[in-house]
Structure formats: structure tokens, C-alpha cells
């Protein structure tokens, strides 16, 4: 129970459901027991108990006079880094953009949005519910791409074109990869060809149409970018409300997110998507 409580309290990335936590406990406990029973203090003992003191696992022998001894499985020390208030606001703006575009343009449901973590390289994140429709059409592709660009678009709308941060790098990479894959490999582009990954690729596929493929992917990304910007400009009140809540609480669950949407919009109306 102590180990489970610590895993829940110390996790910097939310865990959905009990199974991942149970699996983590099942991996850790055998290691702790193996070290405890191999200790000289417990060789003659009839029982040994595992517990937690401070940030370290300990073993206790119920025999009188035997002091508890630490096990070599300490929790990692909490990060002592502090964030500048403006950085925390930027994280909130970025993640709010993902939530708004994901919910309104891609039909996704956010289970959690977090804009404050204890990891220096993770400013925030959004956890989405299971996608109820894995089928992607050309119409849906633009909305999905816009959702990936939502954080970038929110930073641009709120802070200006010259103040978008490098924290958008991963989002831009995912959006670019998705657009290229859809055009090259799924037949959603302007032709029905399966394109080779690159001219040196050992696999089969057409190799002389890559310029056309990239032009089509660029057109989709341009439309997705425009859609994300238009949506966030129109939904600025919703973005600001989510940012305020994230700055206040750091993390919002599904009920809190839904409450913000309901308070600002009164319902969900998805904008009409336009394909390039």
C-alpha cells in the first residue's frame, strides 16, 4: 500500500486506471523482497515486513530489538527547479490550444490537461480518451493536423508570431510526419500510388513523384495551420478560460475541462472543415 501510494503521489505523468500502477508494484516488490531476505539481519527471522520511510524503502523484522534497515530502492528526488511565471503561462496557453483544437476540430475528448510538472523538459501535456473512430478520411485529416498544431497556434495567437517558443518542435514533427504518411502510403493524396520513403529506400514504391507528394502534404499542413489559427482566434474566450484554470490548478480532469467548455460556449459546435 505504501509503495502504491508513493507511485501515485510521485508520478509526473498521469496514469489512467489501476493496471499500470499494479504492474509497477508487481515489478518492484520482488526486487525489494529479494534484497530484504538476503540481508544478514533477517537470515534467522521468521518474517520480514516492507514499508516506506521518507523517500526510501525499508525492511522491518518483527523480532524485538532489530532495527529497520533501508533497501536500495529510493524514490528519485523531486526536481528542485522553479519555473518563471511567464513560462508557466506559456505552458498553459500551449496545452489549452491543444485541448480546444482537439475537442472542436478532431472530435477528441481530453481526459487530462496538465501545465505544471516536476520535470524540466516536460512543460505540460494532454491525455486523450481512446479514439472511438480510428478511420481517417481526407476531411478528418485536416482536423487531426490542426489539433497537432493547436499548441503552436495558441502561442502565436496569444504571444504573437515572433514569440512562438521552441517547445512546438515535437508537435511540428508529428504533424509533418502524419501529413507525409497520409499522402505517401494511404492513398489520400492526389494519386493512388504508394511512394517510397526516400530515393535510397530499399523497399518498393514510386520514387520519382516525391516533389508532388511533399507539395500535397504542405497544402494540407497550410490548411490545418490556418484552421487552427481561425479556430483559436474565434474561441479566444475559451482559451483564456482554460489558461486561467490551468494557472490556478496546474492540472484539469475531464469534468473540469467540460465545465469550462460549458461555461464559455454552452455546447459544442464543430466548425466546418475546408480541404485545400
Maximal CA-CA distance, the chain: 80
Question: Residue 196 has what pLDDT?
Answer: 62
- Count the domains in the chain: 2
Q: Which of 70, 93, 124 is the last residue of a domain?
A: 70
Question: Residue 274 has what pLDDT?
Answer: 43
Q: Are 123 and 197 within one domain?
A: yes
Mark out the alpha helices in 131-168 (DSSP H runs).
138-148, 150-159
Pick from 258, 242, 250, 272: which is nearest to 83 by CA?
Answer: 250
Tell me if the pTM is above 0.95: no
229: left (phi over 0), alpha (psi -120 to 50) or beta: alpha
Q: Is residue 36 part of a domain?
A: yes
Q: Which domain holds residue 90?
A: 85-265
Q: Are 121 and 220 within one domain?
A: yes
Question: Residue 133 has what pLDDT?
Answer: 74
Question: Residue 206 has what pLDDT?
Answer: 67
How does pLDDT run across 55-75, given as a tens digit for each residue? Answer: 677 888 877 777 888 887 655
Phi, psi of 209 (to 5 degrees): -120, 20
Low-confidence residues in the chain, pLDDT < 50? 12-13, 15-16, 80, 269-276
Phi, psi of 114 (to 5 degrees): -125, 135
Q: Is 52 strand, coil or helix?
A: strand
Tell me how far apart the alpha carbons of residues 105 and 119 are, in angstroms, rounded to a whole number: 30
Cell of 30: 520482488
Q: Are 6 and 138 within one domain?
A: no
Amino acid at each position: 500500500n505504501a509503495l502504491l501510494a508513493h507511485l501515485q503521489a510521485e508520478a509526473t505523468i498521469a496514469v489512467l486506471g489501476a493496471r499500470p500502477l499494479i504492474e509497477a508494484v508487481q515489478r518492484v516488490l520482488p526486487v525489494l523482497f529479494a534484497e530484504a531476505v538476503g540481508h544478514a539481519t533477517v537470515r534467522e527471522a521468521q518474517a520480514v515486513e516492507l514499508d516506506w520511510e521518507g523517500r526510501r524503502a525499508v525492511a522491518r523484522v518483527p523480532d524485538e530489538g532489530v532495527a529497520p534497515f533501508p533497501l536500495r530502492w529510493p524514490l528519485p528526488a523531486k526536481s528542485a527547479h522553479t519555473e518563471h511565471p511567464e513560462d508557466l503561462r506559456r505552458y498553459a496557453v500551449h496545452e489549452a490550444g491543444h485541448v480546444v483544437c482537439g475537442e472542436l476540430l478532431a472530435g477528441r475528448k481530453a481526459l487530462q490537461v496538465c501545465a505544471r510538472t516536476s520535470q524540466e523538459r516536460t512543460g505540460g501535456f494532454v491525455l486523450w480518451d481512446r479514439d472511438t473512430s480510428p478511420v481517417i478520411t481526407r476531411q478528418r485529416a485536416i482536423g487531426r493536423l490542426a489539433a497537432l498544431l493547436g499548441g503552436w497556434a495558441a502561442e502565436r495567437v496569444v504571444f504573437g508570431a515572433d514569440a512562438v517558443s521552441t517547445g512546438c518542435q515535437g508537435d511540428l514533427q508529428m504533424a509533418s510526419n502524419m501529413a507525409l504518411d497520409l499522402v505517401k502510403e494511404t492513398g489520400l493524396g492526389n494519386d493512388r500510388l504508394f511512394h517510397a520513403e526516400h530515393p535510397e529506400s530499399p523497399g518498393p514504391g514510386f520514387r520519382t513523384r516525391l516533389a508532388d507528394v511533399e507539395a500535397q502534404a504542405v497544402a494540407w499542413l497550410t490548411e490545418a495551420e490556418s484552421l487552427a489559427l481561425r479556430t483559436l482566434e474565434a474561441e479566444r474566450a475559451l482559451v483564456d478560460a482554460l489558461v486561467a484554470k490551468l494557472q490556478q490548478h496546474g492540472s484539469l480532469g475531464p469534468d473540469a475541462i467540460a465545465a469550462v467548455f460549458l461555461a464559455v460556449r454552452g455546447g459544442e459546435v464543430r466548425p466546418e472543415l475546408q480541404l485545400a
